[in-house]
Structure formats: structure tokens, C-alpha cells
Amino acid sequence: MKAWVKALSLLASISNPLLAQPDVQLQGSFSQGSLIRGQTAPGTEVFFNGQPLPVSSDGQFVFGVGRDAPEEHKLTLQAGAEQQVKTLHFKKRQYDIQHVNGVAQKYVTPPDAVTERIRQDNARVRKARETQSDLPFIFDTPKMPAVGRVSGVYGSQRVFNGEPRNPHYGLDIAAPVGAPVIAPLSGTVLLAEDLYYSGLTLIIDHGFGISSTFMHLSKFNVAVGDSVQQGQRIAEVGASGRVTGAHLDWRINWHQERLDPALLPGLVMAE
């Protein structure tokens, strides 16, 4: 609730009360990798960088920016003949970059035999994340999906033998094999598969293009098509896929855009 109040007072200070403009409240951290939730008058059309955003019947919408997003973005609100264009500023972040030398090549490049499998895995994940639904759950307050120490953060990157690897886009939570994974928000299961890199992988749609991905699981407690409730036990932590130890890797996507789970509005990070 506090964040909404803050967003409202910020809005009051920057909007001109003399002009009739579509009203909007925005909630989020406004830094690279963050998800932003918005509330406007029902019937208002919303565009992010010129692209139309789905808006719920009660005026809610959501969008996000990636790890290396530029600082400035445009949000346009159109209500009948009234238009408001807002420039949004997103803070740049410093990511943890680790240089590791002397890594055996087999750990740097996957063997040829699995190239096709990896391609198919990526296509399945991509397709699941294309899902566009009007499930309203992304507008609820999220919960942490597992209990444990945060052992890896969004945006960090390793450079093996001078070659930069893909950045890490998840929030890693260290927990033993078999520890419960709960749904951070309600949703519908889009994918439950054993993938080469991420092992047993579960993707859940929370609506409006936002999905959670859970990786390296040891067991699924739900199946594709199931509706899940926030807090429901959906899986068990594991060490499946290409990992060195048991942990949960939780990711948040806005379609193909990878966002930082730790920056979800309202999420309380355990100490």
C-alpha cells in the first residue's frame, strides 16, 4: 500500500492539474530489470514506447524493461481526445561481473550432440512465454517461492577464459532437494518439462504476459493446464540440469523480456 501512496504523490508533483489528462498511477522500482504496474481510468488506451499494452477492464496494466535497457522510455495514455505522454526514467544498475580463467572447454561449449535438443528446449520455452491471457494475478502482492538464502542474483555475469557467458537472469534461492516450491502468485501452468540446461522446469502464467519460471526442480506437483493458487505447493527444489548444487532458480518474464524477480512490487525478500 505504501508504494502506491508514494507513486501517487510523485504523480501529483509532476502532472499539471490545469490540463485534463488521463490519470495514471505507476508502481515499481524504475531501474533496469524492473516490472511496473499501472492503474488508469477504465477505457484508457496505454502505449509503452509506442506499442499498445493490454489494459484490464478496471484500468490495470503492466510492463517491464530488461537488464540493459536504456534510461528513458515513453508511456502514452489516450482517453478519447485527451493524450498524455510521459517520459519514464529507469536507473542504470551495476551488475556483478566475475572473470574465471582456466575453465575446461567442455563446460564453456555444449557438446554437438545436444545442440538440437537445446534449440528445441529454447523454442518450447519461448512459445510458453508468448502466452497472452487476461488472468489478473500479476496485480496481486507476490510471495517468495522458497525459503532459503539468496545465492544468486539477476544480471550477474561470468566471463570464462575471456569469453562472456549469458548473464544470469534468475533469483537463486539455496534450499535442499525436496524443499517445497510455492506459487508466488496464482496462475496457470504453461510448461512442465525436463530441459537440458534448466532440468525440470515449470512455467506459470500470471496474466498480461507475465510468467514465472522455476528451474532445476526435482519434482512437479502440478501439470500443464492446471490452475494454481498463490501459496500452493507446485514443485520441489532439486539439482536437475546443468548445476553444481541444489537450489531454486526463479525467473520473471514479460513475454521474452527477462525481468528481476527481486524487483516485483510488494515482494518481501526474506533475510
Binding site for Zn ion (CB under 5 A): 152, 170, 172, 249
For the CB of residue 249, give the shortest distance to Zn ion in the complex, in Å. Answer: 3
Q: How far apart are CA 46 and CA 33, in angstroms?
A: 20
**HSE, side-chain direction, 13 A CA sphere, residue 168:** 19
Nearest of 164, 179, 244 to residue 214 by alpha carbon: 179
Angle, alpha carbons 186-188-193 (nearest 5°)? 120
Closest CB to Zn ion among 3 and 174? Answer: 174
Q: How far apart are CA 224 and CA 42, in angstroms?
A: 33
Q: How far apart are CA 265 and CA 268, in angstroms?
A: 9
Closest CB to Zn ion among 54 and 152? Answer: 152
Closest CB to Zn ion among 152 and 176? Answer: 152
The answer to whether residues 71 and 92 touch, using CB atoms and an 8 Å cutoff, is yes
Closest CB to Zn ion among 91 and 242? Answer: 242
> How far from 128 is each of 74, 108, 152, 188, 257, CA to CA, in Å?
28, 27, 24, 11, 13
Number of H helices, E strands in the chain: 3, 20
Closest chain position to Zn ion (CB) = 249
For the CB of residue 216, give the shortest distance to Zn ion in the complex, in Å. Answer: 8
For the CB of residue 198, give the shortest distance to Zn ion in the complex, in Å. Answer: 9
For the CB of residue 245, give the shortest distance to Zn ion in the complex, in Å. Answer: 11
For the CB of residue 122, give the shortest distance to Zn ion in the complex, in Å. Answer: 17
Closest CB to Zn ion among 37 and 67? Answer: 67
The answer to whether residues 5 and 222 touch, using CB atoms and an 8 Å cutoff, is no
φ/ψ (deg, to 5) at 183: -70, 120
For the CB of residue 120, give the shortest distance to Zn ion in the complex, in Å. Answer: 21
For the CB of residue 133, give the shortest distance to Zn ion in the complex, in Å. Answer: 26
Closest CB to Zn ion among 135 and 246? Answer: 246
Closest CB to Zn ion among 121 and 172? Answer: 172
The C-alpha cell of 8 is what?
Answer: 501517487
| Residue at 40: amino acid letter | T
